A and B are shown apart, each in its own frame.
Chain A
Amino acid sequence: QQQVKQSPQSLIVQKGGIPIINCAYENTAFDYFPWYQQFPGKGPALLIAIRPDVSEKKEGRFTISFNKSAKQFSLHIMDSQPGDSATYFCAATLNFGNEKLTFGTGTRLTIIP
């Protein structure tokens, strides 16, 4: 059973645009939602994470929006750059990150100059 659904599967945005990646979860017990960035041949790298007691979190050009009632959260990348081209995964876990991560299926993002 897939517990975290991610969309779109792929996304192409022009430089400077704001790509938006969406995720929805089923398990209401999840209490920690990180986003990871992965480049080809590398392991995932943590970008930003949020807990359900806040509706938005910003770190640099990356923003997470969180809607607890809808069980949805999204990643926005401001002023996107070609170097942001990568695969992005949302994830969810229990016990404030102390348990296994359940990942979405990933979004391949391409930023064109």
Chain B
Amino acid sequence: DTGVSQNPRHKITKRGQNVTFRCDPISEHNRLYWYRQTLGQGPEFLTYFQNEAQLEKSRLLSDRFSAERPKGSFSTLEIQRTEQGDSAMYLCASSPYQAEQFFGPGTRLTVL
């Protein structure tokens, strides 16, 4: 399968715990995006990378959130001290330059 992959697919955690998600983009896509989607809503932009450089962060991305893309390949999104309001589907997308974004299946986070 050569699409965008995300792991884990589901994560249940207790409030206050840290969680980390991984995204593997389509090979040779230099742009990688993170979005968050809550039930009944469209995805909301969180941050994006061009290669290893983080070019933009949404104000939705509080200090508890951090994203990295070492070596411009896979990316990780970490949430520290999770809150119940962090429960959502976290989506990753990748694209080549000036082309469509292809989404992965998402990681569903539930914070108890």
Can you name 16 extra interface pairs (CB under 8 A) apart from A98-B95, A100-B56, A101-B45?
A6-B42, A36-B103, A41-B105, A43-B4, A43-B106, A46-B100, A46-B101, A49-B100, A89-B42, A89-B43, A98-B97, A101-B33, A101-B93, A102-B45, A103-B43, A105-B40
- Any chain B CB within 8 A of the CB of A61? no
Question: Knowing A100-B33, A100-B48 touch, does A95 contact B98 (C-beta < 8 A)?
Answer: yes
* Tier of interface size on chain A: 20 to 34
Contacts A42-B105, A43-B105; A104 near B97 (Cβ below 8 A): no
Distance, CA A97 to CA B96, complexed state (A): 10
Give the most central of A45, A91, A95, A98: most B CB within 10 Å: A98
B104 touching A43, Cβ below 8 Å: yes
- Residue of B35, B102, B103, B104 most packed against chain A (CB within 10 A): B103
User: Mind listing 11 A-B residue pairs with CB under 8 Å?
Assistant: A43-B105, A45-B103, A89-B42, A97-B98, A97-B100, A97-B101, A98-B95, A98-B98, A100-B56, A101-B43, A103-B42
- Residue numbers of A with Cβ under 8 A of B are 6, 34, 36, 41-46, 49, 89, 91, 95-98, 100-106
